[in-house]
Structure 1
Amino acid sequence: METSELEQIDKTVKGWLRESRDNVLRKIDTRLTVNTKTSRRDLVTNIDKQNEKFLVSKIREFDPDAKILGEEGFGDKVTSSEGRVWIIDPIDGTMNFVKQRNHFAIMIALYQDGVGELGYILDVIGNRLLSGGPKLGVFDNGQPLAPIENTSLKDGLIGLSGPMVLNNDFNMVDIAEKSLGMRIYGSAGIDIISVLRGELVGYISYLKPWDFGAGKILCETAGLEITAIDGGQLGMLSSTAVLLATRNAHRDVLTIVGK
């Protein structure tokens, strides 16, 4: 896509996100309808569903020929990366949303033939938007993202998945011990924002496309490494253990994973 087209799309998506955030904040203190999906820790609320329907309707009107992959299933059954594909997570960190009313995000990504064009991660309560793509650059609330220091694992904090640490998947305990400390935020979007802002040197978790679709675009544009946990290539439709980090921390983690 040409830069001029991407700039117009960027402006439009930011408008959707402002409206989406307003919709969520108006309903955040209302009585939620909460259901489980795969387990008691995998929740969905009426707000998740309403927000995804809202975003799907906006995309359908704006880009009717595109495919939409949404966490709650109101988009399309996407099995191919061909063409234009939007990936949306209406509430990332639903448990945090339900129990804390904080530390959750809205995420949108746009891919063209498997190539990331634009990514958006909005910290709803913090009102912080990380946005951009390879042709536009990465922005933090509209300002160019500050350069990210290439910090090693031993010199920084790392965001980890709680279950992965408890099960010591991929030597996760060793990874935590080699770092200055681990943090568990409970939202991929919040963790990815923290890595992009240099607050964490990396983040590891089992993720699905809507969890990392936007982050993959932003991290690659910002010069971070984002791969499968074994260093393998990460496709836009992958569901796997994901490692994103500074180049130095990424190398350090892969050394520990390979032991």
Structure 2
Amino acid sequence: MASVKEMDTYAKLWMKEAGSKLRASFETKLNIEIKTNPNDLVTNMDKAIETFFCDKITETFPEHRIFGEEGMGNEIKDLKGTVWILDPIDGTLNFIHQQRNFAISLGIYEDGIGKIGMIYDVVNDELYHVIKGEGAFMNDQRLSPLKEVSVSKAILSMNASWVTENRRIDPSLLAPLVRDARGTRSYGSAALELAYVAAGRLDAYITMRLMPWDFAGGVLLVEEVGGEVSNITDKKLDFLEGDSLFVSKPGLHKEVFEKYLTGNTSL
């Protein structure tokens, strides 16, 4: 059975190699396809990077399974054994339009328990990584434990969709939170927003719908530095079907649920 250290070493090497492939692709013409709607896009590079990881993982750890966004891995109905949960490009719209603000996201789970989390900001060459219980890092720099903050002093990351008309939540529900926070931001990549909470660049991140590959790596980073993680109803995340997501520095969860979300039947 592969050790956590062995998986961590290989994963870091593959992250950097995959990042090089993505940077090299900036000079080439992308093949872009629409998935579920005109804003949900996939490129030939999303598929190529996922295939790259699948080939490497299968060759090196043949007993492991792969849960990837583009479906190049295994059909996953449970998290038994070792499962690599992968998003080859988190922030595909940004990758296409900006050539920045996207990341490779990876979480490695053993029997449903997170062991390794990695988020690679390819353009800035920032690799956020964690082995559970051994500290979280950005490249070689250890991330500091998160400190408590109140809503009035918080920088909140949230897409404007959730305070305008949408299919998932009453937009008036989160509008007071946006009003009361010190500021709001949106980067268009859940993985980066999770990494930024872990690094203390953001104080909280809220979104109504993500898939497991969007958050599997990032939530381990946040938890390792003392942050809080749940879905929008303050329950544990669903790592098979996806979920809403609320991650924050200590203290913010309690304040947000008490002042803004508790008792709302629309959730």
| TM-score of the two chains, using structure 2 as the length reference | 0.92
Structure 1 residue 29 displacement after superposition: 2.5
Q: Distance in 2 between matches of 1:251 and 1:34?
A: 42
- The counterpart of 2:215, out of the listed 212, 220, 227, is 212
Percent identical residues: 34
Q: Answer whether contact 2:194 2:219 (CA < 8 A) is retained.
A: no
Q: Answer whether contact 1:131 1:140 (CA < 8 A) is retained.
A: yes
Aligned residue for 2:253, secondary structure, equals helix
Q: Answer whether contact 2:82 2:109 (CA < 8 A) is retained.
A: yes
Change (3 A) 1:91 1:55: same
Residue 186 (structure 1) aligns with:
188
Residue 167 (structure 1) aligns with:
165
Aligned residue for 2:6, secondary structure, equals helix
Q: Answer whether contact 2:145 2:226 (CA < 8 A) is retained.
A: no
Aligned residue for 1:247, secondary structure, equals coil
Residue 104 (structure 1) aligns with:
102
Aligned residue for 1:147, secondary structure, equals coil
User: What does the per-residue CA deviation read over 1:205-250, in whole Å, with 9 as the maximum and x for residues that have no partner?
Assistant: 1211000000121112221111110101113224121101112111
Q: Distance in 1 between matches of 2:191 and 2:217?
A: 9
Aligned residue for 1:107, secondary structure, equals strand
Letter in 2 for 1:28: F
Residue 248 (structure 1) aligns with:
251
Aligned residue for 1:122, secondary structure, equals strand
Residue 78 (structure 2) aligns with:
80
Structure 1 residue 156 displacement after superposition: 1.4
User: What does the per-residue CA deviation read over 1:115-140, in whole Å, with 9 as the maximum and x for residues that have no partner?
Assistant: 00000001111111110122322111
User: In the TM superposition, what are the counterparts of 1:17-96 in structure 2 within 5 Å?
Assistant: 17-96=15-94
Aligned residue for 2:106, secondary structure, equals strand
Aligned residue for 1:23, secondary structure, equals helix
Letter in 1 for 2:196: S
Structure 1 residue 8 displacement after superposition: 2.2
| TM-score of the two chains, using structure 1 as the length reference | 0.95
Aligned residue for 1:254, secondary structure, equals helix
User: What does the per-residue CA deviation read over 1:138-186, in whole Å, with 9 as the maximum and x for residues that have no partner?
Assistant: 1111221122222122211110023212237361212211211111111
Q: Answer whether contact 2:106 2:118 (CA < 8 A) is retained.
A: yes
Q: Distance in 1 between matches of 2:115 and 2:165?
A: 36
Q: Distance in 1 between matches of 2:137 and 2:199?
A: 10
Letter in 1 for 2:234: G
Q: Answer whether contact 2:148 2:251 (CA < 8 A) is retained.
A: yes
State the superposition RMSD in angstroms: 1.5
User: In the TM superposition, what are the counterparts of 1:98-137 in structure 2 within 5 Å?
Assistant: 98-137=96-135
Letter in 1 for 2:216: G
Structure 2 portions without partners, runs of 5+: none
Aligned residue for 1:27, secondary structure, equals helix
